[in-house]
A = this chain, B = another copy of it.
Amino acid sequence: MEIDANGLEVLGHAECLALMQTIPIGRVVFTEQALPAVQPVNFVLDGDSVVIRTAPGSKLAAATRGAVVAFETDDFDTTAGTGWSVTAVGQARAVRDPKEIARLSRLPLQPWSPGPKEHFIRISCHRLTGRRIVPVAPGSGGQAA
């Protein structure tokens, strides 16, 4: 087990992908009007990339167009003091090919908020990092992962 400078277990690429598949919600991290911005979204993994849906004219669609973004997922058990987080950093690309859009439309990407969201964005998970908390006795820190 590899441990980083913060005492957290370093997760490998395959384990990062496996953990991401257990969670339907992640957070897109981008820049909006020169300020840091973050938005929770439903997502699915499609091969080695994250796929999200939004409305074509949404702020998220505009802000992530061709941009390098981060995509974060995590799961923490606040009672047990355990958990993990995985972050991908990669270029966000709008999906333009009608055949690919048709295929992505059939993926289990559950909608929550109302309105049509027929704009698909793919975020490469080429650069993927993950950490897991190795539980410790309380009294010495405050960084979750």
- Contact indicator B87/A114 (Cβ below 8 Å): no
Taken together, the copies of this chain in the complex come to 2
Known: A35-B70, A37-B29, A69-B36. A112 touches B136 (CB 8 A): yes
How far does the alpha carbon of A42 sit from the alpha carbon of B145 in the complex, in Å? 9
Interface size on A, residues (CB 8 A): 59
Tell me whether A114 and B85 are in contact in the complex, defined as CB-CB below 8 angstroms, given that A38-B70, A68-B35 are known contacts.
no
A119 to B24, CA, bound (A): 34
Stretch in contact with the other chain, from A10-18, A49-57, A93-101:
A49-57
Q: What's the Cα separation between A72 and B74 when bound, in Å?
A: 13
Question: Which residues from 76 to 94 on chain A have a C-beta closer than 8 Å to any C-beta of chain B?
Answer: 76, 78, 81-83, 85, 87, 89
Q: Beta-carbon contacts of A18-45 to B below 8 Å, as 1s and 0s? A: 0000001101011100011111111100
Please, which residues of chain B bring their CB within 8 A of the CB of A36?
Answer: 29-31, 36, 68-70, 89
